[in-house]
Amino acid sequence: MTYLAVERPKIGWIGTGRMGLQLVRRLLDAGHDVALYNRTRAKCEHLAEFGAAIVDRPDQLADRDVVFVMVSASADLEAVTLGPDGVLTDPNHAPGLLIDSSTVSAPASAHIRAEAAKRGAEFLAAPVSGNPKVVAAGKLTLAVSGPRDAFDQALPLLELLGRGVTWVGEEETARLVKIAHNIFLGVVTQSLAEITVLAEKGGCSREAFLAFLNDSVMGSVFSRYKTPALVNLDFTPTFTMPLLRKDFDLGLAAARELEAPMPLASATAQLVASAIGAGHRDDDFATLILEQARRAGLELQPENARIDDGLGRSDDD
């Protein structure tokens, strides 16, 4: 393998949404040569000010040493790799290493891995845990699967993206790890909404209840991070309800295939679907608390409190 034989490999990046933009900045700030493709070019053009090159088609990244992909769904991954002008369709060039950080199904990932291999490209599945604020705080984590030697070579690049990079196994293992993570995200958020609504209906403010919880052994980085949204009802999206539903669908399908019962996840999936049916599509998935309050006959009001989210920022920064 030669894709990281040089000290500064040429990097391509496909998909500069909210997460991709932040991650590309980390690579650029580290001095790497990065070329970008995004379906809507205007959304990434400002990165040229930081040294990025902007291309018009994914196949224009085929001569890069390493290409990262971060798109929304399995169909999008196939489109930017194997579709018209995909990064794996250039007959003369293919990246040495393709690193996919999308949240997609294991079969879709396996298909791209096989096609990459036909073109002489290594493939790592590297889904991430975090959002743009987490990236900015340097706390992103990645689960990575694929050939161990490819992972070892790519590790210096992956470590630029966040604080934790874990090799979890061969082939598509990282896909299941990420889906399991996101199911837990949904179940924990629903549970947090339920107990917070219970405490408020019994006379305790959300701010006070969550301050107590976060300082207890039951508190976590996540509960602290979500506290401003739950207290002040600020549902600026970090992860929307339809995306969460997609991950529940993938996870429950895997559970059926592996014969691993998931009763709590199944119940939460129905509550997520109910929230989407009630119109909560574009806001953050923390809006689960609004539906929980509605079922409890409680109308929530923003508490307008100044709260540190644990990432070094308060709610009014």
CA angle 154, 149, 146 (to 5 degrees): 80
Other Cβ atoms closer than 10 A to 161: 26
The pLDDT of residue 267 is: 98
Structural domain for 265, as ranges: 176-295
Q: CATH number for the domain including 141?
A: 3.40.50.720
Domain-located, residue 82:
yes
Residue given tokens 């590790």 in the structure block: 155
The pLDDT of residue 132 is: 82
The pLDDT of residue 5 is: 54
The pLDDT of residue 280 is: 95
The pLDDT of residue 315 is: 43
Whether 139 is a known active-site residue: answer no
Contacts of 100 (CB under 8 A, 6+ apart): 68, 69, 70, 77, 109, 112, 123, 124, 125, 126
Question: What gap in Å lies between CA 97 and CA 75, rounded to an integer?
Answer: 20
The pLDDT of residue 73 is: 85
Q: Of 118, 133, 139, 178, which one is the catalytic site residue?
A: 178
The pLDDT of residue 6 is: 58
Q: CATH number for the domain including 210?
A: 1.10.1040.10
Contacts of 214-221 with CB under 8 Å at 24 or more apart are 214/310, 221/139, 221/310
Domain-located, residue 4:
no
Question: What gap in Å lies between CA 40 and CA 136, rounded to an integer?
Answer: 23
**Average confidence (pLDDT) per 10 residues, the chain, 317 residues:** 66 93 94 95 93 96 96 92 95 94 88 95 94 85 96 95 95 94 97 98 98 97 95 94 93 95 98 96 96 97 93 52
Structure tokens at 232: 């002040």
**What is the reported pTM?**
0.86
Pick the closest to residue 27 from 56, 64, 68, 57 (CA basis). 68
Same-domain pairing of 15 and 135:
yes
Same-domain pairing of 54 and 159:
yes
Same-domain pairing of 250 and 133:
no
